[in-house]
């Protein structure tokens, strides 16, 4: 039945209808709610008598472009490693990201920059939206090859909402006292994922009460990596396929697909310093965060090569490790790179993350499937899950060591509540730890109950066990060589077997 | 005769002699005319007592680098989709662009920044030159695989001149009153492709009368996309090959050539916000333009996936659509993204462009060839032609709705003639429409008469009908696999058939 | 014996132990010596009462990101041209660079920014470290395919030290008088590879005597390209393999490996203007340097196409030339692009460099191997060696023509000693020439004696003559096609032959 005409007809309509519906609904919500903020709208800006050179655009947009390259080039090509799933890997990443950035502009906007009935957008909403997209793509990495595009869109629909709520809880609800508005100015960036709110609050828009972040997580070790990874892993558990070995022969890479994946790896690696620093405080805040991330990534690269050769058959390196674990250094300093981590601390953290991640690929991924029934296609548990949790714990440690001496005036930027005397460093550390716990809850329950049940809706198009990791299910695929007119339709044969 | 030694000898000399001549002539013209402008030359800059931090370099160069990546990586790899034409696609793009950027520095310089006998160059001339290169590469996309590199260089030689004149007419001649010089300063960018002239006019260089643009087209929906597309399409009509089906077997993609093409697509997509905003007014102007483009592209991606699946055989997606139509959202807001388009307007425009472009690939491209005898290799009519015209019309609409309320002080930047009370919004809209008409005239007549006749010069090296889309005509090509010493010389066989 | 279990066991341990040792030692040195500088550390910065917008981060970081992309994407993929060495090319580049950037942070730090017992780091140390990595990767290009990763790491260990010393000698020792500290400020960048020292010297850190550079080399024609190339070439001479023809069948490219290499070429080409300008003086200094490099690259691209077709078999273009010689325009203006080269001068220099480089590939590389016994895998002599020397000589010429009239106030930035009346332009030219001589000495002696002997240590893992240019020696390599489970282990067969 699976390969029957009725199924094909269903498939023909499911993806386009969902795309059209989601885009239509988003557009209507944009029309009603979304407006330029005062840094984007000339009429509002000039009322404030600011110089054009002070526009936050110039301090954030170059970082945004790097983040944008990571999301679309980095994630897109990193997932091309599968031998017959390249079109889907880069194509569905593209589709998911294009939808999720719009949807998260709305969700984050409602939660964080909703004033007088409108969401106000600017360069920081673009960065925040791309960050949320990052989490969605991390989750999709666990499902890669085993879900159709309509399923992935539904996952994004739910995940973006949960991402926004989790972030809101961490930043605003894990504490009590509400804080007054802050002055606006080039020097007044807030160094946290939602600073557009604070920025907007004190400028030309009607002031409303804003709170400093209760938990710090500038580069998203918790909110992006841990959340995205465990959301995807729990979802993958719910969608467990006991018969997946029917597609085993397509689960590996071929020579050139590994080279394409390295394009993704390298772009993620080089731009990660911009990712972690994109929304930290202007000036020394961005400067230090970028520097820490740069060192951490270098160290994780060396430990990945070391461990990969050490555990590899015959001492040979494994491309999967290099493509992924070398990036763990960026994940592990996501929380702490804006803090006084020190260059040595960055190296040590990166080294640890590369080690844990490589060992995870070698030893834990097989157990994850056999014992925990989690089929983690691209190993997000190793690249984002464990390093994300480690990064959150590192944040606990570094926050607990914060002193006035070490941070100077910077303490007010990174830990305003400590600077104001409302919290001790130890208490901040406890809040950070609680933030990790909350994130794991949201990710697991959301991924499991919500998304899991949603994606199992029986009418949703999902590839057969024998058709996983195969582009032809969703794409018109040309032959591999010039002489083949078209790759033979092996999928259809598989269909009839099923 | 085609494959004979005499022809080979001719081929040996045509390209190098043309390259040497063009480079030599360009260098001589540079020696005589081109000088650093006051933002580039320390001696001139310091006379003006400016701070180094105010140098326009810092406000434009990051955008320039994104545009540069789009031109060379984006266009270069987007055209690699042909299975046996990868070397030529990326190589000839490289060659054409390297020549055209020099030549357009001269042409645009003569028309727009010629003072006291010299052309003055700086970061804005680099951006303007790269913009002109964009138009040339769009045209070459229609001819891809059917013309030799010498023909393409001659096309660029003519097209750059016509591009410059068309742009000059739109910006300066479609109106009457000449306007006084503007103050220089960080806040004084002019938000239009030729602002270095105005900037230069009021600074340290001898002042000369400058006019505000008569027609707005910051991201080039008209001047770049419409012009480039119809120039190429008319040229392709003139060079129509009735026997092209002899090369039909090489006209499609193979699996990995489609993945290479996606590198081009993604880099074009992520950096398009920088393209449209590279020369808009500093501050809110660049900020808003980037934001609008970001939203428009997201929407065109969703509509492209929706339509591609809807019209695809068996509901399957077509890589050609994803590679191209998803980018139409950037084209369609080229004129209006610096205006008060609103975020909703950007989504709606992008959605429409993706839809039109995808349907164009599916239904109109075959008709274009069969009925209109236009062989449009990479579908520039769908990606640049129709979305460019739509973008110009959208500009007409949005310009016609311009009010003091909506733009505030920004009105003087975007529509100085309206702000000064010299034009009504409706009148500005009519000028915009007239600009589209002028552009179509220049492109068609220039592409048809000029370039068409030039490229048909009988002694010019052009591939045989049986040798189109084939790298070996121009390149020493290694085998596809490690075991082949060299790909067999099928071209030569084809030669003898001819 | 070569393929025996004991050898495999040795291989298993050599790389990981070296990685772990180097990373461990680096981390300890970082812990003891490396600290944030005053632009990175909030506590130090705020003591200086600076605005966040003035942080040097905003004037250097976008350039850094471009340089970073060149090092990792550019060099990494440029070397993927070999048909069966893609994993090693991009992987070992990654490993080498990740180690060398840490190690050069230490070495350059000790030599140039060591105050009160600490090395102070910030965005300029990241750029300087990446520059040094560039030199190391250039050297590795000469050895590509003939050395194991442990050998390459040892090479980097030594080369980074010699690079640092050579740079120190050129910038500081080739002269006598010691100069007072300079004021710090946005306008006070020093326009030379080591400006963090001077910046740091006058700010909040304890002042120490600093000297203006004795020899100018902003983009590293001497310190990076000449040094890196001749270091690698002499090393390749010492490691000469008379039996290398055993691996000849793997020495060429295949169709798709050439396309991957073009990714490297294009990213190097587009970002080279940022490379040369990354550390030049702020404002007009960076502006002019970027512009000159842009023109030079365009001209070298045209001359490369011209010469490649002229000397090519049957007039056909050779991908090797396009991939490499087109970049020579960036190398040749490395010294002079921050000087008053003029746009015409940039075109002429680029044209010459492209010509020399292409002819070098065609005629000199074979002689280099047959006569001089230098096996230069990726032709670094043609891309970096000759153009680097030409660039140094061009620097001699342009420095010798420096006048107060031409440079205005800029003279103090580019040639402070001439501006202060301590040197004539002719004398500066002589110093520049002497700098080239010193560089060639350091590179040759260092590469020959030091690195050469080190890399010949008998216990070091090095591929057999029959196993060169082969990924399987170091990597677990999947098959080329979906149907092969694993590429057959041809290496092992080769082993037994040996």
CA-based end-to-end distance of chain B? 8
CB within 8 Å of chain B, chain C residues 35-64: 53-54, 58-59, 62
User: In three state form, how does the secondary structure of A222-286 look?
Assistant: HHHHHHHHHHHHHHHHHCCCCCHHHHHHHCCCCHHHHHHHHHHHHHHHHHHHHHHHCCCCCCHHH
Return the pLDDT at A48. Answer: 64
Burial class (CB in 10 A: 0-12, 13-18, 19+), A311: middle
Residues 6+ apart with CB under 8 A from C235: C139, C142, C143, C155, C447, C448, C451, C452, C455
Cβ–Cβ < 8 Å for B126, B57 = no
Calculate how close chain C gets to B125, using CA atoms only, in Å. 9
Give the residue on A whose Cα is nearest the Cα of B275.
A65
* pLDDT of C17 above 50: yes
- Report which of A136, A126, A125 is spatially closest to residue A92, judged by C-alpha positions: A136
Question: Which chain A residues are Cβ-neighbours of C17 within 8 angstroms?
Answer: 306
Point out the least confidently predicted range of A96-110, B49-63, C479-493.
C479-493
Residues 6+ apart with CB under 8 A from A488: none
How far is CA B166 from each of CA A276, B152, B445, rounded to the nearest angstrom?
45, 20, 12
Alpha-carbon distance of B271 to B136, in angstroms, equals: 19
Burial class (CB in 10 A: 0-12, 13-18, 19+), C409: middle
| Rounded mean pLDDT, B461-475 | 91
The 3-state DSSP class for residue C205 equals coil
Element (H, E) at A29: helix A5-33
* pLDDT tens per residue across span B322-345: 999 999 999 999 999 999 999 999
Q: Is B484 on the interface with A (CB under 8 A)?
A: no
Cβ–Cβ < 8 Å for C57, C123 = yes
pLDDT grade for C8, boundaries at 50, 70 and 90:
low
Return the pLDDT at C45. Answer: 73
| Rounded mean pLDDT, B233-237 | 95
Alpha-carbon distance of A231 to A92, in angstroms, equals: 18
Which of A38-52, B449-463, C156-170 ranks highest by mean pLDDT?
Answer: C156-170
Phi-psi label, residue C35: left if phi above 0, alpha if psi -120 to 50, beta otherwise: beta
Cα torsion A56, A61, A64, A68 to 10°: value is 150
Return the pLDDT at C109. Answer: 95
CATH ID of C34-477+489-497, from 3.30.200.20, 1.10.3430.10, 3.40.920.10, 1.10.3720.10: 1.10.3430.10
Return the pLDDT at B17. Answer: 95
| Rounded mean pLDDT, B266-292 | 95
Domain spans in chain C, listed from the N-terminal domain onward: 34-477+489-497
Return the pLDDT at B176. Answer: 40
Of C34, C53, C487, the CB nearest to A186: C53
Residues 6+ apart with CB under 8 A from A107: A132, A160, A161, A163, A164
Q: What is the DSSP pairing of strand C34-36 with strand B475-476?
A: unpaired
Report the half-sphere exposure of C115 (CA within 13 A, side-chain side).
22
* pLDDT of B240 above 60: yes
Of B250, B283, B301, the CB nearest to A45: B283
The DSSP symbol for A458 reads T
Return the pLDDT at C192. Answer: 37
CATH number of B5-475: 1.10.3430.10
Which of A386-390, B10-14, B189-193, C38-42 ranks highest by mean pLDDT?
Answer: A386-390
Q: Do B186 and A53 touch (CB under 8 A)?
A: yes
Point out the least confidently predicted range of B90-99, B138-147, B197-206, C385-394.
B197-206
Return the pLDDT at A10. Answer: 65
The 3-state DSSP class for residue A35 equals strand
Alpha-carbon distance of B98 to B94, in angstroms, equals: 6
User: In three state form, how does the secondary structure of chain B look?
Assistant: CCCCHHHHHHHHHHHHHHHHHHHHHHHHHHHHHEEECCCCCHHHHHHCCCCHHHCCHHHHHHHHHHHHHHHHHHHHHHHHHCCCCHHHHHHHHHHHHHHHHHHHHHHHHHHHCEECCEEEECHHHHHHHHHHHHHHHHHHHHHCCCCCHHHHHHHHHHHHHHHHHHHHHHHHHCCCCCCCCCCCCHHHCCCCCCHHHHHHHHCCCCCCCCCCCCCCCCCCHHHHHHHHHHHHHHHHHHCCCCCHHHHHHHCCCCHHHHHHHHHHHHHHHHHHHHHHHCCCCCCHHHHHHHHHHHHHHHHHHHHHHHHHHHHCHHHCEEHHHHHHHHHHHHHHCCCCCCCCCCHHHHHHHHHHHHHHHHHHHHHHHHHHHHCCCCCCCCCHHHHHHHHHHHHHHHHHHHHHCCCHHHHCCHHHHHCHHHHCCCCCHHHHHHHHHHHHHHHHHHHHHHHHHHHHHHHCCCCCCCCCHHHCCCHHHCEECECCCCCCCECCCHHHHHHHHC
Q: How far is CA B364 from the centre of its chain?
A: 22
CB contact burial B367-385 (16+ within 10 A = b; e otherwise): ebeeeeebbbbbbbbbbbb
Q: Do A73 and B313 touch (CB under 8 A)?
A: no
Alpha-carbon distance of B18 to A390, in angstroms, equals: 61
Q: Is C3 on the interface with A (CB under 8 A)?
A: no
Return the pLDDT at C44. Answer: 80
Element (H, E) at A305: helix A284-311
CB within 8 Å of chain A, chain C residues 254-313: 256, 260, 263
Give the residue on C whose Cα is nearest the Cα of B97.
C298
CB within 8 Å of chain B, chain C residues 162-191: 186-187, 189
Task: Tell me what percent of chain C is helix, strand and coil, each rounded to the nearest 5.
Answer: 70, 5, 30
Q: What is the pLDDT along chain A (498 residues), one digit of tens a residue?
A: 344 555 656 667 899 999 999 999 999 999 999 999 988 888 787 666 678 888 989 999 999 999 999 999 999 999 999 999 999 999 999 999 999 999 999 999 999 888 889 999 999 999 999 999 999 999 999 999 999 999 999 999 999 999 999 999 998 776 543 333 333 333 333 333 333 333 333 222 333 335 567 899 999 999 999 999 999 999 999 999 999 988 888 888 889 999 999 999 999 999 999 999 999 989 989 999 999 999 999 999 999 999 999 999 888 999 999 999 999 999 999 999 999 999 999 999 999 999 999 999 999 999 999 999 999 999 999 999 999 999 999 999 999 999 988 898 889 889 988 998 889 999 999 999 999 999 999 999 988 888 788 898 888 888 999 999 999 999 999 876 655 544 444 444 444 333
CB within 8 Å of chain C, chain A residues 67-126: 83-84
Q: Is B489 on the interface with C (CB under 8 A)?
A: no
pLDDT grade for C110, boundaries at 50, 70 and 90:
very high
The 3-state DSSP class for residue C204 equals coil
Question: Which chain C residues are Cβ-neighbours of A53 within 8 angstroms?
Answer: 53
Subunit partners of chain B (3 or more CB pairs within 8 A): A, C
Element (H, E) at C203: none
CATH number of A5-497: 1.10.3430.10
Q: Do C302 and B101 touch (CB under 8 A)?
A: no
Return the pLDDT at B290. Answer: 96
Return the pLDDT at C177. Answer: 35
Alpha-carbon distance of C481 to B185, in angstroms, equals: 59
Cα torsion B255, B256, B258, B261 to 10°: value is 180
Q: Is B11 on the interface with C (CB under 8 A)?
A: yes
- How many Cβ pairs within 8 Å bridge chains B and C? 233
* pLDDT of C180 above 70: no
Cβ–Cβ < 8 Å for C234, C444 = yes
Cβ–Cβ < 8 Å for C86, C300 = no
Q: Is B482 on the interface with C (CB under 8 A)?
A: yes
Q: What are phi and psi of B341, to 5 degrees?
A: -75, -25
Alpha-carbon distance of C470 to C474, in angstroms, equals: 8
Q: What is the DSSP string of A53-66?
A: GG-THHHHHHHHHH
Subunit partners of chain C (3 or more CB pairs within 8 A): A, B
CB contact burial A354-388 (16+ within 10 A = b; e otherwise): bbbbbbbbbebbeebeeeeebbbbbbbbbbbbbbb
How far is CA B190 from each of CA A183, B186, B281, C441, rounded to the nearest angstrom?
30, 10, 5, 52
For residues B11 and A190, the model is more confident at B11
The rounded mean pLDDT for chain C is 86
């Amino acid at each position: 039945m699976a390969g029957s005409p009725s199924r094909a007809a269903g498939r023909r309509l499911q993806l386009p209808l969902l795309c059209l519906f989601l885009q239509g609904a988003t557009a209507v919500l944009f029309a009603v709610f979304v407006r330029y903020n005062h840094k984007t709208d000339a009429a509002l800006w000039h009322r404030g008598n600011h110089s054009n050179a002070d526009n936050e655009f110039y301090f954030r947009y170059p970082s945004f472009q790097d983040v944008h390259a990571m999301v679309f080039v980095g994630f897109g090509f990193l997932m091309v490693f599968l031998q017959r799933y390249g079109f889907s890997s880069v194509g569905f990443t593209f589709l998911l990201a294009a939808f999720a950035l719009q949807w998260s502009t709305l969700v984050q906007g409602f939660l964080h920059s909703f004033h007088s009935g409108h969401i106000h957008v600017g360069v920081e909403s673009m960065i925040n939206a791309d960050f949320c997209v990052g989490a969605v793509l991390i989750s999709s990495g666990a499902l890669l090859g085993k879900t159709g595009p309509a399923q992935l869109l539904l996952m994004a629909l739910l995940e973006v909402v949960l991402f926004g709520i989790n972030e809101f809880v961490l930043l605003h609800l894990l504490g009590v006292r509400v804080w007054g508005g802050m002055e606006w100015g080039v020097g007044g960036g807030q160094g946290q994922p939602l600073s557009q709110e604070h920025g907007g609050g004190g400028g030309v828009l009607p002031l409303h009460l804003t709170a400093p972040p209760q938990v710090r997580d500038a580069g998203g070790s918790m909110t992006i990596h841990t959340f995205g990874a465990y959301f995807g892993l729990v979802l993958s558990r719910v969608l467990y396929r006991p018969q997946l070995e029917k597609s085993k022969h397509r689960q590996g890479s071929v020579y050139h697909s590994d080279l394409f994946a390295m394009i993704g790896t390298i772009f993620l690696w080089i731009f990660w310093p911009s990712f972690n620093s994109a929304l930290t405080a202007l000036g020394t805040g961005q400067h230090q965060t970028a520097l820490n991330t740069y060192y951490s990534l270098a160290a994780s690269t060396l430990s990945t090569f070391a461990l990969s050769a050490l555990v590899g058959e015959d001492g040979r390196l494994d491309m999967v490790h290099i493509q992924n674990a070398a990036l763990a250094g960026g994940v592990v300093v996501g929380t702490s790179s804006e803090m006084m981590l020190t260059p040595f601390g960055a190296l040590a953290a990166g080294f640890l993350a590369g080690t844990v991640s490589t060992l995870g690929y070698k030893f834990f991924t097989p157990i994850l499937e056999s014992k925990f029934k989690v089929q983690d296609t691209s190993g997000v548990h190793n690249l984002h899950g464990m390093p994300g949790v480690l990064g959150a714990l590192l944040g606990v440690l570094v926050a607990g060591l914060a002193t006035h001496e070490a941070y100077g005036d910077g303490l007010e930027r990174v830990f305003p509540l400590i600077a104001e005397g409302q919290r001790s460093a130890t208490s901040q550390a406890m809040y950070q730890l609680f933030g990790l716990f909350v994130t794991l809850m949201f990710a697991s329950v959301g991924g499991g109950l919500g998304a899991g049940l949603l994606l199992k809706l029986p009418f949703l198009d999902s590839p057969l066990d024998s058709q996983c990791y195969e582009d032809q299910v969703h794409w018109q695929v040309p032959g591999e060589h010039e002489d083949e007119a078209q790759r033979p339709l092996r999928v259809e044969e598989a269909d009839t077997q099923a």
